[in-house]
Amino acid sequence: MRHITRLLIANRGEIALRIIATARVMGLRAIAVYSEADVDAAHVAAADEAYLIGPAEAARSYLNVEAILTAAQRSRADAIHPGYGFLSEQARFARAVADAGLNFVGPPASVLAVVGDKLQARTIALEAGVPVVPGAAFGNRGEASKLAAALGYPLLVKAAAGGGGRGMRVVRDESELGQALEAGEREAGAAFGDGRVYLEKYLARPRHVEVQILADRHGHVIALGERECSIQRRHQKLIEESPSPGLGADLRRRMIDAALKLAARANYVNAGTVEFLVDGDQFYFLEVNARLQVEHPVTEWRFGCDLVAEQLKLAMGERVEERWEGRGHAIECRVYAEDASADFRPVAGEVLYFHQPAGPGVRVDSWLTSGSQVTSFYDGLLAKVITYGDDRNQARARMAHALGEFVLAGVPHTAEFLRDVVRSAPFARAELSTRFIADHFGAWRPAPESTELAMLAGALTRHGAPSDDLSGAPDSAAKPDRSPWRELGGFSLWNR
């Protein structure tokens, strides 16, 4: 593979900034693309070059293969990093990049086509001797009904061509099957352009554990431990940690061995994760995420590595190194633009004021500055707060403190909710499952005083006055004229 010198990042937000940071360290020229909604975005300012690729709608910009390849040609890029989401797992995009003579930083199109189809991935898992959750595809409604009866209720309708909970439906009994199939097919078609679904046995309270893998073009595959991803809402991960607490040494060894066998069987290349559901001492293959994961920082911190740098090295044909050893404990919390007082409804708006936490063992990956615009066109992830400690208790204590220092006015967000989860007794005891939120926080509501103070902070910030600079933003970023925390005598929002 050709050496990379000019890297185009086909993404936006915090992951674009994350890739730019590694590109700088490696001496690469970082090239950004942006939509009309992102003209003033942080990743555009941070890059060495930036190219407009279309209107705000993702389908006409960040999902527009032709526009991205045109930007690559204009910028004389020799490689494209897709980040995560958007086109990152699309075989057609990887193929188009290769056909244009560019280096795709990720698995080749042939691998993406196989592992990106859940039915084919299940077949590979079975061929590799990896257990899968009982389930199968079907040809028509009659076959679906017979298959459902054979599997037994409850069961899941799942999209064959994608994940993230899209197209997924829980079916409790036969009366719900027809409607669930129609809804799943419709949602899968809209999300992935492929309406195929299949049926799978529903596990009521499994844990969700994934293994990070790195694979080179010479047939070598290694694993960098596992991550616990059980804390979810609406099939979307909220909190991840490494190592997985309470996972026995034998079960951990068997899962990692299974991940390596599956990767080898699929001829996998570059970074990725093999995901499993864990039910007691038994585990089942779930899917392969053939890209960098949102939660990659917990592995980076625990193993002292830079996964983006490893991706770039592997894309240039280097051999994978087996020199890392895991230590300590890392936790990540995803802060979203959601209104917790309205059933976590996605929201948009202007960030009037932003102060991110800092301190020993604290890392924040975010694209926010005061004045940033949160739009409804893209995913609502605002920031990832990551903490590290010598053990889980220290990492958890640091996370609770960091979330208490997370201050954002102007856009509702989930930091207070996450803080309450991390501080809870069930989380401290690692009583984890994919039903954790429903079991323990289904009736959660923000404290009234938090909502009132958020409104007051926004009002004070909007009207302006002299302030202390608490934003932590670079000198070139816009800063508020007045700090609400000065007016409130040093009070930090969400501390209660």
Domains within the chain, CATH numbers bracketed: 6-105 (3.40.50.20), 134-201 (3.30.1490.20), 207-440 (3.30.470.20)
Name beta bridge partners: 335.
383
Q: Looking at residue 479, what is its pLDDT?
A: 32
pLDDT, mean of residues 448-470: 49
DSSP state of 59: G
CB 484 within 8 A of CB 407: no
Q: Looking at residue 466, what is its pLDDT?
A: 33
CA dist 201 and 286 (Å) reads 12
Q: How many residues does the chain have?
A: 496
Evaluate if residue 119 carries a pLDDT over 80.
yes
CA dist 10 and 71 (Å) reads 10
Q: Looking at residue 190, what is its pLDDT?
A: 83
DSSP state of 343: T
Instruction: Say which amino acid occupies 327.
Output: R
CB atoms inside a 10 Å sphere around CB 28: 21
Evaluate if residue 282 carries a pLDDT over 50.
yes
- Which pair of tokens denotes residue 244? 């997985």
Evaluate if residue 109 carries a pLDDT over 90.
yes
CA dist 72 and 468 (Å) reads 42
CA dist 415 and 413 (Å) reads 6
Name beta bridge partners: 387.
331, 362
Instruction: Say which amino acid occupies 326.
Output: G
* Tens-digit pLDDT profile for residues 303-321: 999 999 999 999 999 999 8
Mode of pairing for the β-strands spanning 6-9 and 29-35: parallel
Evaluate if residue 391 carries a pLDDT over 70.
yes
Evaluate if residue 293 carries a pLDDT over 80.
yes
Q: Looking at residue 348, what is its pLDDT?
A: 96
| Predicted TM-score (pTM) of this structure | 0.87
Mean per-residue pLDDT of the chain: 90
Q: DSSP 3-state helix, strand, coil percentages of the chain (rounded to 5)? A: 35, 25, 40
- Which residues are annotated as catalytic? 291
Residues contacting residue 391 through CB under 8 Å, at least 6 positions apart? 328, 329
Instruction: Say which amino acid occupies 410.
Output: G
CB 7 within 8 A of CB 77: yes
Q: Looking at residue 452, what is its pLDDT?
A: 52
The helix (run of H) or strand (run of E) holding residue 124 is helix 118-127
